[in-house]
Amino acid sequence: MPKKNEYNRMIMDPYDRYELMVNGTVVQTPIALASMAGVVDAEYALARSENAGMVCIGGYSIDEATMAASRLLVESGREEFLTDNPIAEIRAQAQILVESGLVVAVNMRGSAPESFAAVARAVGPGLVYEIDAHCRQEPIIATGCGEALLHDTGKLEETVRALKAENVTVSVKIRAGVADDDRALARALWQAGADILHIDLMDFGHTKLRQIRNACPLILIANNSISSFSVAKDMLAHGADLISLARHADPETLASLNEKIAAYADETGWYNAPKQLCRGGDIRSLTFCCMPVKKCPLLPVLETLGISRNEFMSLKLNGVKNTPIEGGENTCFGSLAWCCKSSTPCIFRNMALQEAGLSLPDYMRYKRRLSEKLMKRVFEGDAFYATE
C-alpha cells in the first residue's frame, strides 16, 4: 500500500499541482520528450507517457528540399523519418496519441514559411507546431532550415507569423549561443507570435536560461543533459516551465524525475518558483522582494524595467488586495505582499500565515499569482491594478 505522501501525489489533480497548460491542455508533469529524428514517434511516446507531459515528435522534413536533405543524411548513416507524404504521416502519428494524455508537438524542418503553414492548415490546431531552428546537420542547414534560421532571424520570424496565421500554437526549438543575442531573439520571436521557446542550453546552463526568462513571457522548455532532479530543479528555479529530455529519456530516469518533481511541487506549492532576486533569481522573483526602501539589487532592476518605486509598491499591494496574503500587520512591512520565499526562515511571516490559516505551500501559490500579475505589467506594460 502506498505511503500517505505517495498516495497524495497520485490523487492530486495535475492542474492544481503545476497550474500548467499548453495548447489548451493540462500538462500532467513538466517533463517533455524532445524530438530526435528517426526516433521520437508515437510508439516511442506511448512507452514513456506515464512519466511525461509533452512530446515533440519528429523531426519531420516537410518539403522537397528538406526531404532531399534527409535522404542524404540517411545515406550517411543517420536515422531519419522519411515519407513521401509528411502531412499524412504527421496526422497518423498524432491520431495514435489522441488518448495518451500528452500534449503533442510536431518538430518540423522546412525550407520556407509556407511549408510550415501548409502542414498546420492541413492537420489543424490539435498540435503544437515546433519550428526546428536547432538542427546543425549540413544538408539541413543548406536548405535554409535548422540552425541556419538562427542566422536569418527575419525568415524565422516570418515562419512564426505564417504559422500563427493558421491559429495554432507555435514553438521554436533553438540552440543557445548561435544567434548574436539570445535575449533579443527571444523578444523578437515573442513579438512575432511564438508561444513556446524550446532551448538547447548547450554548456551555458541556467545563466542563459535566466537571461531569456527576463527577456520574454513565453513558455520556456529547458533542454540538454537534464537527467537528474538537482539539475532539473535548478532549471525550473531559473525560469523553465518544462524540462525536456532526448537521449536520457529512458523510463527509469523519467520515472525518477516525475516522482521527485511532483513531491517538490506538493511540498512547496510552486514547482518552478524562482530564487530570490538578491540570490540570483529571475524577475519573477519580484514577488518575493521587500519594500524598496534600501539599497539592494531590486532598485537597478526596477530602473531597467522602467518601474518607479511608488509604482512597484502600488503593483504589489493592489496585486494582493482581497487575497489571504493582503494582511500580515506584524510582518516587517505590514503585509505578506512584501515577505520572502518560503524556503527562507522567518518567524514573523510564519506567524502571519498561521493567523491567516495558510500553509507555506498555500502562501507560495498566492505568491505565484502575484508574480503573474507583476509579469503582466513588465511585459505588457499594463497597470493591471487600475482596472481591478
Each residue's pLDDT tens digit, 24-68:
999 999 999 999 999 999 999 999 999 999 999 999 999 999 999
pLDDT beyond 70 at 181: yes
Q: What are phi and psi for residue 247, nearest 5 degrees?
A: -65, -25
Categorise residue 118: left if φ over 0, alpha if ψ from -120 to 50, beta otherwise.
Answer: alpha
Neighbours of 296 (CB within 10 A): 13
Domain boundaries, the chain: 4-268, 277-387
Query: Taking residues 142-153, what's their average pLDDT?
Result: 97
- pLDDT at residue 10, as a whole number: 52
Q: How far lies 386's CA from each of 205, 314, 322, 379, 383, in Å?
A: 38, 10, 15, 16, 6
> pLDDT-based confidence at 385, cuts 50/70/90?
very low
pLDDT beyond 50 at 387: no
Percentage of the chain surpassing pLDDT 70? 95
- pLDDT at residue 7, as a whole number: 42
Is pTM beyond 0.85 here?
yes
- pLDDT at residue 384, as a whole number: 36
- pLDDT at residue 282, as a whole number: 97
Alpha helices in the chain (DSSP H): 4-11, 14-18, 42-46, 64-75, 86-96, 113-123, 138-142, 153-164, 182-192, 206-213, 229-237, 251-268, 298-305, 309-319, 347-356, 360-380
- pLDDT at residue 12, as a whole number: 72
Does the bond joining 59 to the residue before it have cis omega, within 30 degrees of 0?
Answer: yes
Q: How far lies 121's CA from each of 63, 115, 160, 166, in Å?
A: 14, 10, 14, 6
Class of domain 4-268: alpha beta
Query: Taking residues 146-151, what's their average pLDDT?
Result: 98
Query: Taking residues 285-289, what's their average pLDDT?
Result: 98
- pLDDT at residue 131, as a whole number: 98
First to last CA, the chain: 48
pLDDT, the chain, mean: 94
- pLDDT at residue 1, as a whole number: 39
| Residue 115, all three cell numbers | 511549408
